[in-house]
Amino acid sequence: MPKEIERKFLVKGDSWRQLAQGSVYRQGYISTQKEATVRVRIANNQGYLTIKGKSEKYTRSEFEYEIPVADAQEMLDTLCDRPLIEKLRYKVEFGSLVWEIDEFDGANKGLIIAEVELSDEHQQFELPDWIGEEVSDDPRYFNSNLAKFPFAEW
């Protein structure tokens, strides 16, 4: 079963911006139950359907499938809860890992989160100087919750 092991952090400063270019992501949620979420995403002119299981510490099951972009657009327009998640995603290599930095727009404008995927929950890694407070255990920062309770309303 495919697993995602991920840690999330707030981002401080702007030094990371010179390290990568952002790609536009639009995503929405068809279902956001405690046991599983179903997400539709368009990124780099490609559609994706993703099903994620319940988080246990930093780990959860994840199944992601490419779908036609026209299908993804139709799902975003007609099936997904509002507001949609709009963001620029930057990928920055640091050490042996790739950090994904999400700069949110729309209802979550002003929020910047960095995520790093690990091979196991106990993997040791170095933090770049632009990493701030860890928010891995704070469910407010899950994208599925940002779609229900946007950052602008906190």
Active-site annotation, residues:
29
- Pick from 120, 121, 122, 129: which is nearest to 95 by CA? 129
- Give the Cα separation of 66 and 48 in Å (integer): 4
Q: What DSSP element (H or E) covers 76?
A: helix 69-78
